[in-house]
Structure 1
Amino acid sequence: MVVDKIQYQFNAVSDKYDKQRRILIPCFSDYYQTALEISEQLPQIKSILDVGAGTGLMSAFFHEKYPNAEITLVDISEKMLDKAKERFDSEDNIQFMQADFAEADFGEDKYCAIVSGLAIHHLPHDLKQLLFNKIFKALKPGGIFINADQVAGETDYIDQINKSTWVTKVKKSSLTEIEKESAFERVKLDIFAKLSDQLSWLQNIGFENVNNYYQYYNFVVFAGQKPKK
């Protein structure tokens, strides 16, 4: 099963994941900074759900910005979450949920912000849409969904440029040959959707102020807001 393969791949790389991510995301600083800046549109953030949280890298940035917010991390990989628990060992406002986020119940009207970093692209497109629906329900009125992810190019030509550029950068990076091959194996499990399709899905669900705020080749940061009552 694809889910089992994803869990295996990310369990295997958990020890080195954060270090590698700074290399595997050529636009690392701008990427995560944009996600944080989008959240500033809300007057206050008291609760955050991190979908596909991995080792807690995205949550760490949001925890630093909103130290009093309750943050829940959900991820399918036990070993990745173990690293997240080590990261937040002394924090009492951080919770963890090991689960397939495509199937997990997030509740209703519960979170001020729901964020995700490089996770949702692992799902088939129908499950992406179902997840977006769950996220919409789980947000409080006026809450925001911020997704930093990778997308397919709008044409085959653009998609090829995006993917080949990333491969070239990884090959020229300081990663070991084993680390590079591991990264190339993991991307075989990716199921990219076009940005335009995902923005349309959010709008059709009922999100407002849907917009893409950042793009570097196939790395994007887009967001949508649940209407206020």
Structure 2
Amino acid sequence: MKKPGEVFANASVYDPGIEAIVPRYDELHDALLNAPPQDRDESIRVLELGAGTGELTTKLLTRFPDSSVLAVDHSDQMLDEAERKLETFGDRATLERGAFPDDYPSASGEYDLVVSSLAVHHLDETRKQTLFDAIYESLVPGGWFLNGDVIRFDAPHLETLSGEMIENWVRSKGWREDDFMEEWEASDDYDDPSSLTDQLVWLRDSGFEAVTSIWQYYNFAVYGGKKSE
């Protein structure tokens, strides 16, 4: 049985598959990577929630060459892919199997940066708020949380428009639309996206400052906030 985040039965096709179903996937990652306030040569501690195959982890470790990343995912097959991809970074990358907010974050005041990509939308509203509280606690003063994820529009016609945009994007990537969308829709059972506005409010309720949306393309967005100094 698939777990949340296992959009494809075989994790080895996740990377090309996700690029075909998430429009401007690289732009989403760029927004996540450009938003942290730390200089590239700073030694920072990063927690990544829902690391998947380690694609964003690789980019983080490359962009911040003195950083270390604890990458967490609950899928064994995703972690197997990530282990192969991250081998070159040695002990700068640590992989752990676990779920959030149940298992992670568990530390207090430990991380300079917490990031997540295409994972938090699997949680319902209450668990999102619980996660935001835990992330705030896990950050050092002045640390940042950044999330790139699926969001929900309150306007039905915009939800329809976003669905049509994804189908057009899939076709533009040369995939057979019916087969591909069947795989994608099979993962919808685990999806519970919230509106961007609600999530920004919840971040403020958790104590975050400078809460903001950084990037958005239809129903994909990058947003986050800073723990008070």
Aligned to 2:29: 32
CA distance in 2, matches of 1:20, 1:185: 14
CA deviation after TM superposition for structure 1 residue 215, in Å: 0.5
Paired residues in the alignment total 224
Q: For residues 76 and 52 of structure 2, what CA distance do their matches in structure 1 show?
A: 9
Partner of 1:61: 59
TM-score after normalising by structure 1? 0.91
Deviation at 1:138, TM superposition (A): 0.6
- Aligned residue for 2:152, secondary structure, equals coil
Tell me the SS of whatever aligns to 2:131: helix
Aligned partners of 2:8 and 2:183 also within 8 Å: no
Contact 2:5 2:119 in 1 (8 A): no
Deviations 1:124-181 (A, max 9, x none): 1111111111111111110000100010013222222222321332245322454442
d(CA) in 1 for partners of 2:169 and 2:50? Answer: 25
Query: What is the TM-score when the length of structure 2 is the normalising length?
Result: 0.91
Q: Is residue 38 of structure 2 the alignment partner of residue 42 of structure 1? A: yes
Q: Does 1:143 align with 2:140?
A: no
After superposition, what is the alpha-carbon deviation per residue over 1:41-98, rounded to whole angstroms, capped at 9, x for unaligned? 2354510011011111111111110122110011110110111010111322111110
Code of the aligned partner of 2:70: T
The match for 2:20 is 23
In the alignment, the residues of structure 1 paired with residue 119 and residue 221 of structure 2 have an alpha-carbon distance, to the nearest angstrom, of: 12
Aligned residue for 1:125? Answer: 125
For 1:201, the aligned partner's letter is W
Structure 1: 5+ residue runs without aligned partners?
none
Partner Cα distance (2:65, 2:138) in 1: 21
CA RMSD of aligned residues (A): 1.8
Residues 45, 143 of structure 1: alpha-carbon distance in 2 compared, 3 angstrom cutoff: farther
- The question of 1:71 aligning with 2:69 is answered yes
